[in-house]
Chains A and B, each alone.
Chain A
Amino acid sequence: MSKNTFVEPLPLSNVENGMAGERAQFLLNTWKENRGVMIRDSRMTKLSPWLLLTLPSANPGDVPTITFAGKETTFRRFFPHALDPDAQKPATSFLPQVYRKGVADGYQTVFKGDPWLDIQRTGNRLGAGVPDMTLQRLLVRFETRSGIVRIFCLMELLEIHERRDLSDRTRHQRYCRQKSDWHPAYQATARPSAMHDGNIW
């Protein structure tokens, strides 16, 4: 990670070669095969518990309005009341501004049509009660034939760090991968597909 941000863009080749996990690979492959057109597909429906959908626009330095959050998303897990029908404020306002600002650039890219992949080390930016995590995020833009656009966000939780571990790098050595083609940002993380018990979608 660079010194100035907690978000590190990653090459999409990580998704194409499977390094970013099978769900990300499926999402990007579907986007490519359909040329960004969203078609009803039971496989995409089965992926939906891990997807966040948003509107295709946002103010500079902010994230777009969330329209759907799958039940397995980190957003649902750590902000379970954000999408309650009786919530008194927008779901995205549950995310601290410092986090929203830090992850906003990826959305500006995907609004224009290009997919985006990054890795994040959240630290304390998601607020009290939310752990320090390493997250991998893939964003793609889908449009229906009638022109309805949604941004699909697949956020994979790679690791939850104990707060006291922030200065103790040695405790994470067991997760390090020795393959030379792994991005440095992955080196303290588990591979996305290794976080789950098989292919459950």
Chain B
Amino acid sequence: MSVQEFTKEQLEFLELFEIAARYDCLYLLDFHCFNMFNHDQTSLLTDTERAELAVEARGDIFAEAIQRGFQPNPGPFGQIDEQEYLC
């Protein structure tokens, strides 16, 4: 699939997952998923649920990643405000 075939919400979740994996904090994604949906299998979530998870977890995950040098990718849907991700 090309980037254009993903929705904005799908891309945001994929980015969050990739950042969590890169900075070794997938456990934070597990924690948030379990607290919201009573399981930690993000592959079982609907797109809507993944979008909700991304909203809940991104502040937690991106705050650390940015402090460790991560530069948010503006992506195809416009500029991302770094402050948006800080707790």
Please list the residues of chain A having a beta carbon within 8 angstroms of any beta carbon in chain B. Answer: 38-42, 44-46, 48-49, 51, 53, 65, 67-68, 70-71, 85, 90, 144-148
Contacts and interface: CB of A to CB of B under 8 A. Distances in A.
B21 to A, nearest CB: 10
Contacts of B28: 53, 68
A90 B63 CA distance: 14
Nearest to A146: B24
A interface secondary structure, majority: loop
Contacts of A41: 27
A145 B87 CA distance: 22
Interface string B19-49: 0000111111011101100001000000000
Interface of B: 23-28, 30-32, 34-35, 40, 55, 59-60, 63-64, 68, 87
User: In this complex, which of B26, B28, B60 has the most chain A Cβ atoms within 10 angstroms of its Cβ?
Assistant: B28
What 3 A-B pairs come out closest when comparing CB atoms? A146-B24, A48-B31, A144-B24
A148 B28 CA distance: 11
B24 A45 contact: no
Given A42-B40, A53-B60, A67-B63, 10 more contacts: A40-B27, A40-B30, A41-B27, A46-B34, A48-B30, A48-B34, A67-B60, A144-B25, A146-B23, A148-B24
A27 B31 CA distance: 15
B55 A85 contact: yes
B79 to A, nearest CB: 20
B30 A45 contact: yes
Contact of B24 (A67, A71, A85, A145): A145
A48 B24 CA distance: 17
15 contacts: A39-B27, A42-B40, A45-B40, A48-B31, A49-B35, A53-B28, A67-B63, A67-B87, A68-B31, A68-B32, A70-B35, A90-B87, A146-B23, A148-B23, A148-B68
Contacts of A53: 28, 31, 60
A46 B28 CA distance: 12
B64 A148 contact: yes
Contacts of A46: 34
